Amino acid sequence: MPQHEERSDEELIEAVDASHREASRIQRELLGLIAEVDRRALWRGSGARDMAHWLAMRQGISQWKARRWIGAAHALESLTDLEHAFSSGELGIDKVVELARFATFESEAGLITWAKYVSCAAVRRKADLESRRAIDDVRQAERARFLNWWHVDEGDRLGLEGELPAAQGAVVVRALQRVADTLPVMPGEEDLSYGEARRADALVAVCSSRIAEDADPDRATVVVHARLGDLVDTNGSAEIEGGGRLHPETARRLLCDGRMQSVLEDEHGEPVRLGRLSREPSPAMMRQLRYRDVECRFPGCGSRRFTQAHHVVWWGDGGPTDLDNLVLVCFFHHRLVHENGWRMERDREGRVRWFRPDGSRHVPPMSVGPGPPRSGTRVRALTRAGPLEHA
């Protein structure tokens, strides 16, 4: 039987505290050694850029944490009260390294008392507010910004990793949060635990809007490669140029609305036909579509943001890119049609009927459902008068 199982509850708790005190003593000794290594500049000639880089590589910690440890190591040499609180285990290393950023000989005693009764986050926030940032730190944060992406699972998924200065990061976070709050919830993802998935949807929605507005048709075109027959065969696959694999239904959704071009290939990968780019509704046609449909045509949705044009008869099956074959749907309901098996029909009067994956018609309560298309006669008259792209 392990030794700790023979202890009483009180003895076990005391053992945890004793181990913490011993760990704090050793950590204080470690910081002292770090300060001396820094003074001797022993990191030079090791392949490291500076002391923080050397420490991060040698101890397997982040450079952010390494800089905190180095700063605390030097500060503790003159902050005797804080040094004693650390060595005795009265305060742990996380709080100590934050207090060391701004504590003085006069203030350290009071700060130690305060820090014992607040969280590490509270201590860090006070340190952030009290510390005077050097302009070199700001420039370093700017230079350290990055965004990387890579494909995993044989191209089925895209991984993202990035780091931004706090000010720029706040803009990204606020934008994604606001967009995520406006997106409908996917089926089965009503729980709050799907917040991360909603933020991912928000990022896709923002990027989709941006690429759709790009005036350069070449740089803003996403190319989808598919073998003959794969786009009509649910067992086939497609591939994004420079990206990963796609299910045929996902490829059909992308080609439905967005600056996409299909490249059909034979079994040897040789291109046999380039898909037309003209299937993309022109800006003038999109304005008329939004004027006619107003909002997502799924009954009761009402979404007007991140709406897309859906071909009722798929463009690849010969469906024309004209108003009679287009319906305005939101980002969510577009995925519902393609990846989730729903279907829609639009009659000559503009009524849109939705059908569930099992083939049954979706009949909403009488209190919901979109109103009739706005000024449908006027829209058809404009269509007959001439090409809308010149309107």
3-state secondary structure at position 230: helix
Query: In this structure, is the dihedral angle defined by the CA atoms of residues 203, 125, 28 and 4, taken in order, positive or negative?
Result: negative
Q: What is the CA radius of gyration of the chain?
A: 30
Q: How far is CA 308 from the centre of its chain?
A: 21
Local confidence pLDDT in tens for the 391 residues of the chain: 456 667 888 999 999 999 999 999 999 999 999 999 999 999 888 888 889 999 988 888 888 899 999 999 999 999 999 999 999 999 999 999 999 999 999 999 999 999 999 999 999 989 888 876 555 666 777 777 888 888 777 667 888 888 888 778 888 999 998 888 877 776 667 777 788 888 888 888 888 777 666 555 444 455 666 555 555 555 556 666 655 566 666 666 665 655 555 555 555 555 544 444 445 677 778 888 888 888 888 887 777 777 888 888 876 666 777 788 889 888 778 878 877 778 888 888 888 888 888 888 887 655 444 444 444 444 333 333 333 333 2
Structural tokens at position 338:
């393609």
Q: 128 vs 68, 98, 144, 287, 320, CA distance in Å?
A: 12, 9, 19, 48, 59
- CA-CA distance, 369 to 139, in Å (whole number)? 54
Tell me which residue of 259, 226, 224, 258 sits closest to 240, measured CA to CA: 224
- CA-CA distance, 85 to 287, in Å (whole number)? 67
- Give 293's DSSP letter: H
Confirm whether pTM is higher than 0.85: no
- CA-CA distance, 156 to 245, in Å (whole number)? 6
* Contact criterion met (CB below 8 Å) for 224 and 251: yes
328 beta partners: 309
- Give 78's DSSP letter: T
Read off φ and ψ for residue 151, nearest 5 degrees. -100, 140
